[in-house]
Structure 1
């Protein structure tokens, strides 16, 4: 299993809306590194849902329900989507400030590649954030 983090601005698509919807096509990614991460996602992989710009915190865990396919919002075959389903909210969100302050997370892509909208998360990083959010 692999672990990931996706970002969404809560005023555009929040964790709460994602839960109401029950499933989402993760579309609109227009960065090749982020696209490559979407391509690498496998069904069943776990994904942190991160509120960007407002909140700046990991709020929940999702799961890949469908592996990458052509983004239906464009005819450009360079761009892909995955389908995600919510798994659970963290008991307490984990802020970017808390992540930056945690030595075990010093190399997490969220910090190292801060503008990347879809990033890989190492197993130990995933476990640490889950622990912090418990």
Structure 2
């Protein structure tokens, strides 16, 4: 059963990484929504800028054992100015960015569900090629990436809801 609300004709799928010690699926479940801030890679930023309200993102826990997809979230606001770029004491400060000319945009996401099992990177590598799913490409460090519809549907089949 899918809990995704389609607010446009076409839903795009994404994979978004976060370290669970920094912000994990449990945090999103508790908070219900959050701004996906702190992305400082231009290609990942461009992917964030192309997201639309109603798109679906797989939540991927990185830098953990085992890394993998742990749940789903939905984009509920697009083209959000990333506030972390303006905090001179923060890790994601960008001195070239100003409120009138921000360099970094992001999205606001909403919790959809946690998977009952982690879909590990090893499982993803067994099922998909790097051409099908960027996260399985050796050395890929992008924190945000698109997912093909067919691949997203296969991942959803691997992911029963928790409980």
TM-score, normalized by length of structure 1?
Answer: 0.94
For residues 80 and 4 of structure 1, what CA distance do their matches in structure 2 show?
16
Consecutive aligned runs of 4 or more in structure 1 exceeding 3 Å deviation: none
Deviations 1:75-112 (A, max 9, x none): 4222111000011112222000000011xx21201123
CA RMSD in angstroms comes to 1.1
Is 2:32 the partner of 1:5? no
For residues 34 and 91 of structure 1, what CA distance do their matches in structure 2 show?
28
Structure 1 stretch 72-81 or stretch 58-67: which is displaced more?
72-81
What SS does structure 1 have at the residue aligned with 2:21? coil
Deviations 1:65-84 (A, max 9, x none): 00022111114222111000
What SS does structure 2 have at the residue aligned with 1:116? coil
Is 2:44 the partner of 1:34? yes
1:127: which partner in 2? 153
| Structure with a larger share of its residues in strand | 1
Deviations 1:36-56 (A, max 9, x none): 000010000000000001031
The one of 59, 62, 70 aligned to 1:49: 59
Q: Which runs of 5+ in 2 are unaligned?
A: 1-10, 87-96
For residues 40 and 29 of structure 1, what CA distance do their matches in structure 2 show?
14
For residues 47 and 14 of structure 1, what CA distance do their matches in structure 2 show?
14
Contact 2:80–2:108, Cα closer than 8 Å, also in 1: no
How many residues are treated as equivalent by the alignment?
A: 132
For residues 65 and 122 of structure 1, what CA distance do their matches in structure 2 show?
20
Q: Which runs of 5+ in 1 are unaligned?
A: none
1:22-101 matches, cutoff 5 A: 22-54=32-64, 55-75=66-86, 76=97, 77-101=102-126
Shift of 1:114: 2.0
